[in-house]
Structure formats: C-alpha cells, structure tokens
Amino acid sequence: MALPFLQSPFTMWFILQQATALHNEGVAGHDELMRKLAEQTADYVLEEGDLEEGVPRDKASLVAEIQQDTVLNQMIRMLVTEVETIPEEALEVWEGHEPDETSSKMKLTEQHLMLIRRPRFAWSTIEVGAPRVDTEQPYGSPDPLKDIAAMTGKAPVPKFARRHADMTTVLNSYLRQFRLQPGTYGVEGRPFELTQDHLTLAKRMWFEWDTAPLEGFEEGSWPRPAIDPKRPYGSFSFYQQEMAIHLGWLHGEVRELTEDEMSRLTEMHHEMLDAMRVIAAQGTIAADSAP
C-alpha cells in the first residue's frame, strides 16, 4: 500500500533528498537504506504534525509503517539497483556448481553462522510454493558478491561466488543441526508464533542450487538456494499428506485428511517463510559444530 501522509509534495521532496544523501554517503543495501530513511522520515512527519487519524504518533510504530510502504520500497530498490552484469568468473562457478547432497552434517563455523544470518528469504510462487533465498538481493543489496566480501574479507571473485553457491549445503546442514525453542519472535516488525510443528517441518526441508534466474538476469536476478516448490518436504507433491506424516498426524494408516486438517496444513505451509526467517536469524548450533 501507499501511505497517504507520505504523498504530500513537501514530504516526498524530503524523502528524495534524504534517500539520495544516504545513498551518496555509502549506505548500501535496500534494507539498511530503508531503515535509516524511515527513521528520518518519521522524525520529519512527527515534527510537522500533519498526520491523518489512525496514523501512529509514536516513532517506533511510525517507522515500522513507513518501512512497509510499497511505493517507497520501489523507489529505494531503483536507487540501490546498480549491478547490471555478472562477472564471468562467477558465472562459470555458478553454472557448474553441484551441491554436496550428502554433507548434511558438515562442521559449521562462526563464519557460516554469520552468513546464515544474512540471507533475505522470499516465497517461490511456482507450483505449491516454498521458501527460497531472495533472487534480487540475496544478502540485502543487489550485489551478493560485494555483500559476501564485506562479511568475509578480500578474495578473488570465484571464491566469493563459491561461498554463495555453497550456502545451499550450509543451509541444509544448518537445518539439521540448529537449536531453537518455540515461542513468539519478531519478523519484519511483527510478531510470529513459532511452533514445534514449524521446527519439525523445517528439518525436513532441503535447499537446492537454483540457476534458473540466470536466464533472466536482465531483471536483476541471481542464482540462489531454493527449496523445491513442487515437493517442499522431500517426496510428495501432495505436500499436506507428507506434512501430516512428519508431524505424526498419520501413523501408517491410509485415510483422507479432514477438511480442517487440510486447511491447517496449507496455512502452516505458507507460514514456513516466516519460520525460516526466524530459524536463520535466531537459531544456534551445538558447541561441537564449531571449531
């Protein structure tokens, strides 16, 4: 949605000036630029005091609303999108990459954990849908190679490309090793109730290395780890039945799921995007997983 109080000429002028200034100062990535811009805009509109009824007057709530504004997000995305080509060395690595599908117990390091915290997860709209790493801004900016360089230090381009591709194996290993308690967690400024069912299902998901976005890179797409949107829990295209088996709702018996069961399982499946966001951001690994 577009927030009406952001559409006044004076407010839009302020936003454009501040966004350009922040970008020129070197604030990188859509999320970081959006966060700082939302804070500055909230200060501005609260000082002006010209807010419609129902608009929050406290800064934290106002910042959260501004960060969700679709028009503003599109403007910032256009501002930070600068990458137009993939380096040839990276392309060679990504096109030939085949993840180690047997390495679900690799030793995870603190650097792995740092990388796991960074991906932006999105929802694949193909088939029944499933979580995937965002194709436009995998780690928060339009250039995943620069993001990885900032996190891990200088190295040749092929090494950064390999680290991005290896996130497929890293995420699969993490999903089998992470520790996290059910509870209420914050996801993009709102509460999300993470249940034991979400945790159980997450451990059944498996990331694959998806190079399909390379075919349409003119739209700013990057290859990325993605869960199979046809069989998100491993084997069945009838994903609700497989979920029911994993959750212990079916114990070998052959029966149709009830309408209520189907409804809850479908709802839970679509909640797995937020569950993945929480698990990546908040999960820990056992002490013997890191050196």
User: Domain segments of the chain: what residues?
Assistant: 4-80, 88-289
Q: What is the DSSP string of 89-113?
A: HHHHHHHT----TT-TTPPP-HHHH
At 266, which amino acid appears?
T
**Using one digit for the tens of pLDDT, what is the confidence trace for 273-282?**
999 999 999 9
- DSSP character at residue 284: B
Least confident of 155-159, 207-211, 239-243: 155-159
How far is residue 14's CA from residue 6's CA, in Å, rounded to a whole number? 10
Rounded alpha-carbon distances, angstroms, from residue 187 to 191, 276, 280:
6, 10, 11
pLDDT score for 29: 62
**Over residues 155-168, mean pLDDT:** 91
User: For 202-228, what is the mean pLDDT?
Assistant: 83
pLDDT of amino acid 75: 66
pLDDT tens profile 106-144: 888 888 888 899 999 999 988 999 999 998 889 988 888
Reply yes or no on whether the pLDDT at 61 is more than 80: no
